[in-house]
A and B are shown apart, each in its own frame.
Chain A
Amino acid sequence: MQKYSIFNLVKNAFSNHQNWDLAWKDPTPKEEYDVVIIGGGGHGLATAYYLAKEHNITKVAIIEKGWIGGGNVGRNTTIIRSNYMHDENGLFSEFGMELWRKMSQDLNYNVMFSPRGIINLAHSDAQMNAYARRGNSMRLNGIDALLLNREQVKEIIPMADFSDNVRFPIFGGLMQPSAGTARHDAVAWGYARQADSMGVDIIQNCEVIGFDVSAGKINGIRTSRGNIKAKKVGLCVAGSTNILAEKLNMTLPIETHLLQACVSEPIKPVLDNVVTFGAGHFYVSQSDKGEMVMGGDLDGYNSYAQRGNLPTLQHVLTEGIAMMPFLSKLKMLRTWGGIMDMSMDGSPIIDKTHIEGLYLNCGWCYGGFKATPASGWTFAHTIAQDRVHELNAGYSLNRFSTGHLIDEKGLGTKTWIS
């Protein structure tokens, strides 16, 4: 594989950049693989990469119905954080933060990781208390957290509404300075390129239409491009999890819902951090191109449509304007939607299943992008060793029946309420 470097950039400039190697190949599916990963999104690509890198398993195929990186990794709001209170979520996400910090070097691909900090705003004394508690829990798990008062928040984001007669005055906020953003497409492409270079077959335009299961063991998959034998199969299909689970006669604690995001026209740098509104569900950051990147609530009903509806967008942006009134002056450049695998406690599932050789990675709700490296790393471990790692031991499939839920927000089973 051609290394991306300043030297190679200069060298290729002499041939007008016409002679770069392809970033990944377009192989035809082989008859058999050791591991087949279904889903060529961020998590699937990362899983294949860590299978090859950490476990030396390279007879691996990624089966993708469309094109790689075309799902949620290509349509998220790129926020990376580990500001969780529960140990399972905190330790898992902080492990991911370590991987984010060295990702560009690891992948030889600039993922533009930008640890610009995230601020969750508080709008009442009670919320300040809750944030203090969460911040302390984070620090106990070795995650950086700062509790900011109103003046400190004002210094960082003076453009927010600090006037006296607002419905939700800003009391302060909880900041994780090491949180940030990254270039989402680059994450998918970087993992794909490295996985491909280590021998992983990335098979696009290949739909899974069935599974070959006998005597409680997986033998392979049936696809639109023929049958593929596999010793192990990993499901990494986010919003399409229920569709594949149905083919396996499994009913999962997952519902698929629609989430929208949007960007404004580009403006000069105004916002250095990621900021979230504490009296509803709205978050905003500014991209390197200058667009304000915004998102919030689910549309609120089961959907596979990947396109949203205006009432939710209006509701979300009303919160945004309440928080930062200047946003009302901006033109909307683009809105889009994706489908989320909403789990019943808001936390993911990375586990084995009752079918031998079949592994499940789903339930990422609003937070799949930031989990990409940790999810891939732990899922690869779970598949390679046929047992969960301590980092994803809490993300078990049977926690719902045993009552060991990880309900970070305390919302219960109405996945569409936030």
Chain B
Amino acid sequence: MLYINCPHCGMRSQNEFSYGGDASVKRPELNKEISDNEWDDFVYNRKSLRGKHLELWQHISGCRQWIKVERDTSTHEIFRTFKANEEIA
């Protein structure tokens, strides 16, 4: 069982969350020319890192907020959690 520290609600079990994928993916800026390759990278291509991975989760059975979680994909250890709009150094 993973335990995720929701920045809004505190420590909860993974059963309350649903996964949202790689949080480092950025949608292309819509007000400039976007190439097919840029869309390709945004929609399909993923680094799928082994080790520290910043990802989105939604506290779907709790506050329903989207959050960011820094988690190790080889040990499942969770290091830090952030609000969705928080800038991460």
Residues of A near any B CB (own CB < 8 A): 242-243, 246, 251-256, 300-305, 309-311, 344, 400-401, 413-414, 416
| Cβ-Cβ contact count across A and B, 8 Å cutoff | 73
Residue of A nearest to B40 (CB): A401
Given that A304-B73, A400-B40 are known contacts, is A254 also in contact with B48, CB under 8 Å in the complex? yes
Check if B74 sits within 8 Å of A304, measured CB to CB.
yes
The reply on B75 being an interface residue by CB < 8 A is yes
Chain B interface mostly helix, strand, loop or mixed?
A: mixed
Report B52 CB to chain A, min CB distance, Å.
Answer: 11
**Mind listing 8 A-B residue pairs with CB under 8 Å?**
A300-B18, A302-B48, A305-B74, A305-B76, A309-B1, A309-B2, A401-B37, A413-B44
> Cβ of B71: which chain A residues have Cβ within 8 Å of it?
301
**Chain B, interface size: which category?**
20 to 34
Given that A303-B76, A401-B36 are known contacts, is A344 also in contact with B50, CB under 8 Å in the complex? no
Report A10 CB to chain B, min CB distance, Å.
Answer: 49
Check if B48 sits within 8 Å of A242, measured CB to CB.
yes
The reply on B21 being an interface residue by CB < 8 A is yes
Q: How far is the CA of A77 from the CA of B76 in the complex (A)?
A: 24
Given that A311-B1, A416-B21 are known contacts, is A400 also in contact with B44, CB under 8 Å in the complex? yes
Residue of A nearest to B57 (CB): A301
Report A411 CB to chain B, min CB distance, Å.
Answer: 13
Check if B19 sits within 8 Å of A243, measured CB to CB.
no
Report B1 CB to chain A, min CB distance, Å.
Answer: 6
Chain A interface mostly helix, strand, loop or mixed?
A: mixed
Given contacts A302-B22, A310-B1, 6 further A-B contacts (CB under 8 A): A242-B47, A251-B47, A300-B19, A303-B73, A401-B44, A414-B21
**Which one of A254, A302, A413 contacts B53 once the chains associate, using CB atoms below 8 Å?**
A302
Residue of A nearest to B74 (CB): A304
Q: How far is the CA of A97 from the CA of B47 in the complex (A)?
A: 34
Q: How far is the CA of A233 from the CA of B53 in the complex (A)?
A: 29
Report B67 CB to chain A, min CB distance, Å.
Answer: 13
Check if B19 sits within 8 Å of A305, measured CB to CB.
no
Check if A243 sits within 8 Å of B50, measured CB to CB.
yes
Report B78 CB to chain A, min CB distance, Å.
Answer: 11
Given that A251-B45, A254-B48, A414-B21 are known contacts, is A311 also in contact with B40, CB under 8 Å in the complex? no
Q: How far is the CA of A309 from the CA of B14 in the complex (A)?
A: 10
Check if B48 sits within 8 Å of A255, measured CB to CB.
yes
Check if B45 sits within 8 Å of A302, measured CB to CB.
no
**Which one of B1, B43, B46 contacts A255 once the chains associate, using CB atoms below 8 Å?**
B46
Q: How far is the CA of A304 from the CA of B46 in the complex (A)?
A: 15
Report B53 CB to chain A, min CB distance, Å.
Answer: 6
Q: How far is the CA of A401 from the CA of B36 in the complex (A)?
A: 7
Residue of B nearest to A250 (CB): B45
